[in-house]
Amino acid sequence: MTSKPPKLGKREIRAFQAQIWAFYAHSGRKLPWRNTKNPYKILVSEIMLQQTQVSRVLEKYPEFLKIFPDVDALAKAPLSLVLHTWQGMGYNRRAKYLHDTAQSIINEHGGHIPKTVSLLLKLPGIGNYTARAVVTFAYNKAEIFIETNIRRVYIHHFFGKKEDVTDKEILLLIQQTIDADNPREWYYALMDYGSFLPKAKHNNANLQSKHYTKQSTFKGSLRELRGVIIRTLDKSPSTLRAIKSVCKNNPRTQEAIARLLKEKLIQYENGKYRLA
């Protein structure tokens, strides 16, 4: 049975906030998506940052925005161009979700990014974290959410050596400690401190989380195979035989193709596969 975290006193909350703010003041990261309040640009950054290192997003983010500067440009673009621009980011489903979301925003919201979590959650591929992050970072509203770096901070500070810490326990602490006057910067500070902790402590507090799962190896995975197929079709339509050859006759090639077809990232016509 999950135990509730303690009710924090005002002094303890102030001390915790002071430590986080002090770190951010001298070691906060300068990231381009933090220099804007444009909800479209923030949405793009949040989708990109899912399961992708910040260093890679730093390279792709300006390129993507140059080609798709606003939601209208993204919605009108062919999916094949979006997938081509996304190359190198992995998890190509995110590119399609972002494209579908842009079209939904144009068709259902008059081109305006929704300002509420409930409306954002209705968009393709937008989950609870992304919806709340966009509302917080674009509109500076004090939403309660968690991601890997935030989780690490709270486990490190409040749970000692406790195992199987649940996100529900952590969310209750986030709610108690959030800086409601400046939630946008507060979450930036938490994320930066959480990113710093493993380097300083030489361990990962997230191992104590009940929800921790080690990311599977990319080399030889179905994800790698899907990426090879997408890159191949980005160059030109190909037959199954040609794709198998590029994939070095990997026995999971047809499985990867089937999933890409199901997700509508690729299509089949006239004996060849091509980007959707």
**Which residue numbers are catalytic?**
46
Q: In this structure, are residues 2 and 168 in contact, taking their beta carbons and an 8 Å threshold?
A: yes
**Encoded tokens for 92:** 């190509």
Token pair of 76 as six digits: 């009108």
- Residue 25: Cβ within 10 Å count: 9
How many Cβ atoms are within 10 Å of 208's Cβ, its own excluded? Answer: 19
Query: Torsions phi, psi of 207, nearest 5?
Result: -65, -20
